[in-house]
Amino acid sequence: MPPTVNSVTECSENLPTLIRFYDVMAKCIRLVQTHDDELNMLLLGVIQSSIVRCQSVPENSVSLRCCHEAIEMSGLPKTLMELIDNVPNQTFFSDLLKLSFNLAVVSDRSALQMMQSDGVNVLVAALKPNFLLFSSNSNERLTVCEFVVLLLNRMFSLKRVASSTTLELPRITRNTLEIIFDNIQIETEKNVIRSMKKRNEFCYLLAEIVDNCSFEEQAFSNEMIKDMVMLCVWPEIIHISHWLDNVKFDSVDENIIFKSIMLDIINKVFISLSQNPEFQLLNTFLIQAFMSLINFEYSKTMYGDNVYTVLNRFLLNLPYILLNSTDCSVRNDCCTEIIALIKLLRSQECFSRTMIDVIICIGIVSNDNYDLLRKFKALKADILINAVISDTLKRKDYDCFQDISLYGLNALNIFFRENQHNPEAQLMVFNTVIRMVKLYLVEIDSKINQNLILDLLHFIKNAIIRYSDQVEHFIGAGGVEQLLDVLRSAKYPIQLVILTTLVDLAVYRSAKNRIKKWKCASTNEGYLELLCEIWRYEQVRFDFIDDEFVFREQRDKTAAGNLADDCSPAVESMFMCAQPKIYLLLQLVEFPDDDDDDRGCAREDDVRESTIRACGLVSAFRDKATVAHIHHYYSLKLGEVWHENGLLPDPVSAVESQSIDAMTVRHAYLMALIRMIKREVTNVHVDDSEIKMENKLYEEIRRYHSNGLNK
């Protein structure tokens, strides 16, 4: 005898009993499905009751987890899908659907079992328009749609788990797609609000399937693709004798939503199909439909106030439609219309979502197709985008300014990166950049998105630093000082990019002088104090310690294994860090005549004198120790690399052990020198004058020499 309902909920720790219970119930349902409707209802009710009883306990209880595991390990989910595939009557179908849905809600793996049992195709088959089990107005139709979407979402939540990465995508048949599309067509032809809502539910279902499933070869018939395109361009373009000819398009929310969903669907479908010559004409229809929308006198008669909503959706999908097109003439015409749209929006001072979407479209298309990039250059798109950004700088709408500037800079970056900008754009862009940096400094703490300064810095590199004449203009306009001001206020990731930009600028003598003279307005500290602050912050952020570079104590245990995997800790520790950038900036500005090739093997007298010189660049004693560490960063890194060579020598590199030993000794000497300086600056006597304390520190550095050092 199978367990009772009460025993099911009481034996929470008896998993085998629960599994047997659900297996027996599944077998009973299969045996009596065509013989006794009342018994079927009773059996399904028993299972439903057991789930409800378990759901009434706390979410993390043992009994609830045990119930879910039993359902997942039993054959019940698979049996339910098999029964739905051969359902005998309306009542039984409704009960099966309700139970299956509830199982999928409470258990991810039950949903997965249903999916693996061809659940999507089985459930969609029940949506046939001529299916006798329920009428076209039955609520079960929408329940089926919701159920399939739930199964897809559950499956992909499981795929995100590492142990489930091998899950196969459901494979959809042509019959399944045709059933869904037949329902879309039927509800569209009815053309009333209630049917429009149902049609949109079927569209959501189709969109989820296109996003998340694989398809049989030729699952999309030519006629289906044609109908999908016609729905996208309805009512702008209607093919002669198409079934949509007699369907009036009303500008209601349901139809606007419908257009948006269908555009997304056809866009994804066309990615793999548009190279087929047979579909190129349909692709052209989509481009022409977009161009007709830009004629607002015409399009507003169809869409009214919703015209911009439809236009925005077209713009989001237009890049991929344009890139899929092989008709050069149509593509060029579309590019011309895009530029005309920007000019129209700008003349109307309409800096809305539509303007942003147009700029995004130009950026995507220009990045992926060189011919279209050159076409946009010929149309002077870079000058126009810069003008739009400049216009938004005059406005007090910071959200609009940030969005347009963000995507505008992305698009302009492509033109300058590929050397496809117009010559007259350079000076215009330079002026815009300077104004944007100044605005960022004013509003940094309250309104300006930090991502905007990142894009601005990348743009400075592509549009200014690559051109020496523009660099001199930028330096002369105070660009270096403004970057240092931003460096002080910005967050750490942005500081990394600013430091890289300053290193690029520091090769220019005029930039070096301005970096040296810069003072923070609030603290009157110079750039070196700021660099020291960032250096120390990074040490804390990444848990660096003073003896970070002493491999024998800290890294020997792991370095050999890393080196065996072709990973150099000495090199990898430099990635995405401020330290190498800070070192380069210090050397370029303060020690421009030093030769990096000789720095690693300089005489000890030279090392001590250069250390004193570095310490003398700052006044605060804590900063003196930090600057000494920065100054010897290259030599310390060189010592690390030599030490790694000694840990795992390469038989073909001819690295001599004597060289390794010598560099190891030198590395230890430098670290000991830096530790001594840090110790001295923490032990200064507050009663002494600064000059006396400083002289004492320098005397200690000159006297210092390492025990056992071979000179």
CA atoms lying within 13 Å on the CB side of residue 527:
27
- CB of 57 within 8 A of CB of 5? no
> What is the block-wise mean pLDDT of the chain (711 residues), using blocks of 10 residues?
49 68 75 61 67 53 67 81 76 77 78 82 76 50 68 63 61 90 89 89 87 83 87 79 80 90 88 71 89 89 88 92 90 95 89 90 94 95 93 77 87 89 84 81 61 84 84 88 89 91 93 93 90 89 54 48 58 78 93 61 66 85 87 81 62 56 71 76 61 67 53 40
User: By three-state DSSP, how is residue 636 classified?
Assistant: helix
- CB of 202 within 8 A of CB of 184? yes
Per residue, what are the HEC states of 649-681? CCCCCCCCHHHHHHHHHHHHHHHHHHHHHHHHH
CATH topology of domain 327-518: Leucine-rich Repeat Variant (1.25.10)
Contacts of 290 (CB under 8 A, 6+ apart): 311, 314, 315, 318, 321, 334, 337
What distance in Å separates the CA atoms of residue 281 and residue 327, rounded to the nearest whole number? 9
User: By three-state DSSP, how is residue 295 classified?
Assistant: coil
- The DSSP-derived string for 515-553 is HHH---TTT---HHHHHHHHHHHHHHHTT--TTTT-HHH
Q: Which of 586, 599, 611 is nearest to 705 (CA)?
A: 611
- CA angle (280, 284, 287) in 5-degree steps: 140
Hey, which residues does 171 pair with through a beta bridge? 214
| Residue 314 token pair | 């077209």
- The pLDDT of residue 1: 46
What distance in Å separates the CA atoms of residue 528 and residue 520, rounded to the nearest whole number? 11
- The DSSP-derived string for 309-367 is HHHHHHHHHHHHHHHH---HHHHHHHHHHHHHHHHHHHHTT--SHHHHHHHHHHHHHHH
- CB of 104 within 8 A of CB of 114? yes
What angle do helix axes 381-393 and 425-443 make, rounded to 10 degrees?
Answer: 30
| Exposure string over 102-124, b if 16+ CB within 10 A, otherwise e | bbbebbbbbbbbbbebbbbbbbb
CB under 8 A, 24+ apart: contacts of 511-515: 511/471, 511/475, 511/480, 512/588, 512/589, 512/592, 514/475, 514/480, 514/481, 515/480, 515/484, 515/585, 515/589
- CA angle (621, 627, 633) in 5-degree steps: 150
Cis peptide bond prior to 235, omega within 30° of 0? yes
CB atoms within 10 A of CB 260: 20
| Residue 302 token pair | 């169809």
Length of the chain in residues, anyone?
Answer: 711
What distance in Å separates the CA atoms of residue 656 and residue 659, rounded to the nearest whole number? 5
CB under 8 A, 24+ apart: contacts of 371-378: 371/328, 372/322, 372/323, 372/331, 372/335, 373/414, 373/415, 373/418, 373/420, 374/420, 375/331, 375/332, 375/335, 376/335, 376/339, 376/415, 377/415, 377/420, 377/421, 377/422
Helix or strand run (H / E) with residue 215 = strand 214-215
CB atoms within 10 A of CB 666: 23
Which DSSP category does 167 fall into? Answer: P
User: By three-state DSSP, how is residue 684 classified?
Assistant: coil
The domain spans of the chain are 327-518, 527-703
CA atoms lying within 13 Å on the CB side of residue 31:
8
Give the distance from CA 470 to its chain's centroid.
32
User: By three-state DSSP, how is residue 214 classified?
Assistant: strand
- The pLDDT of residue 71: 75
Per the confidence metrics, is the pTM higher than 0.95?
no
Residue 171: phi, psi to the nearest 5? Answer: -100, 120
Q: Which of 476, 470, 466 is nearest to 504 (CA)?
A: 466
What distance in Å separates the CA atoms of residue 131 and residue 183, rounded to the nearest whole number? 11
- CB of 418 within 8 A of CB of 388? no
| Exposure string over 507-525, b if 16+ CB within 10 A, otherwise e | ebeebbebbeebebeeeeb
Pairing assessment for the beta strands 171-172 and 214-215 based on DSSP bridges = parallel
What distance in Å separates the CA atoms of residue 540 and residue 545, rounded to the nearest whole number? 8
- The DSSP-derived string for 7-68 is HHHH-TT-HHHHHHHHHHHHHHHHHHTTT-HHHHHHHHHHHHHHHHHHHTS-TT-HHHHHHH
- The pLDDT of residue 183: 87
